[in-house]
Amino acid sequence: MAPMTRNQSPGGIPTEEVAQYYKRRAEAEVGLIITEGIEVSHKASSAYPNVPRLDSQKAVDAWKKVIFGIKEAEGAVIAQLWHCGGFRKIGMEPDPNIPGYTASGIVRPGKKVAHAMTIDDIRQTIDAYASDARICEEIGFDGVEIHGAHGYLIDNFFWNGTNIRNDDYGGSIKNRSRLAAEIIKAIRSKVSSEFIVGLRFSQWKQQDYAAKLAHNPDELKDVIESPVEEGLDFLHSSMRRFWESEFKESDENLAYWTKKISGLPTISVGSVGLDSEFIDMSASASPTNINKVIDDINKEKYDLVAVGRALLADYEWVLKIKDQRLDEINPYTKEALYKLY
């Protein structure tokens, strides 16, 4: 299951309904659940209401219940750790005086509207990821996925459209990947070697769907190499349409190249089981492209496939696909964004 923010955790605390929502999917053979983004325990991480956190005993206890339900159903669960970066605005909870944090004060290319992080800010943020990952291991998550995609904080550092720093965290692709690498390193120093640590990244940004961190496989190597060297266990290549070719002169997608370059288990994602692409929230569900996913996995082009919206609408999606009960699948509609089916 792909990580999907549900905004149903008032005060940062996942409710009983949230726990049941995840448990239903584990019972229906969703093998690995990556949770919705959990805001890291840093003062500027939040940009949306009712997103879960780990910063209170109540929130931690509520996550224990979520994990218990998934484990009871023999599922595996990875917590996605998220810092919203420049999507935060003055006036937002919990402290309305705190602005969005970014590499260079930039959220969209050419426009300085946010706070440019100091070295101290960077250190505090890295520490927040590491201690939250430690909590995740203590309470029974199988691992963490660092959200480094879609224009949020880590991606804001990755992307030269928003990172114009001239210190060790800006300039070359390698420098722009330093924040991600240092977060992975700090996490690895606080968790056991069995605990899974992954990184999700994307070429596309919410601010610019056509943006690219890498224009060819060599540049992709520069983006992911240092995070991989710090001890990553998997990579999650976020695409809007998994069937699209990533680089010229090859039909293969971003997950294929990520696996080939890193040698790590890689997750592919993007409109699996849907007729139209991510962002078109009115997409209807029809599993026309499942055969390609199965074929790609059999050919070991990538290792896992994350399913997002199709699983929001129908928690039994996996079972129905497996049993070829395609006409019984509840189609994805916008309502699934607001309800915990």
Ligand X SMILES: Cc1cc2nc3c(=O)[nH]c(=O)nc-3n(C[C@H](O)[C@H](O)[C@H](O)COP(=O)(O)O)c2cc1C
Which residues form the interface with ligand X (CB under 6 A)?
2-5, 36-37, 80, 147, 149, 200, 238, 269-272, 274, 278, 307-310, 337
C-alpha dist (Å) from residue 280 to 35, 244, 274, 290, 332: 22, 16, 10, 19, 11
Instruction: Choose between 105 and 283: whose C-beta lies nearer to ligand X.
Output: 283
Instruction: Choose between 4 and 60: whose C-beta lies nearer to ligand X.
Output: 4
- Of the candidates 109, 124, 102, which has an alpha carbon nearest to the alpha carbon of residue 47? 102
Helix ranges, 88-216 (H): 119-138, 153-158, 173-176, 178-190
Segment holding 76, helix H or strand E: strand 76-82
Residue nearest to ligand X (CB): 308
Minimum distance from CB of 177 to ligand X (Å)?
18
Whole-angstrom distance, CA of residue 76 vs CA of residue 3: 13
Minimum distance from CB of 324 to ligand X (Å)?
20
Instruction: Choose between 79 and 105: whose C-beta lies nearer to ligand X.
Output: 79
Answer whether 14's CB lies under 8 Å from 22's CB. no
Q: What secondary structure does DSSP assign to 2-36, as a single string?
A: --------GGG---HHHHHHHHHHHHTT--EEEEE
Instruction: Choose between 5 and 50: whose C-beta lies nearer to ligand X.
Output: 5
23: its two tokens = 């448990």
Minimum distance from CB of 321 to ligand X (Å)?
13
101 is catalytic: no
Minimum distance from CB of 174 to ligand X (Å)?
24
Question: Which one is catalytic: 152, 169, 302, 332?
Answer: 152
Active site residues: 152
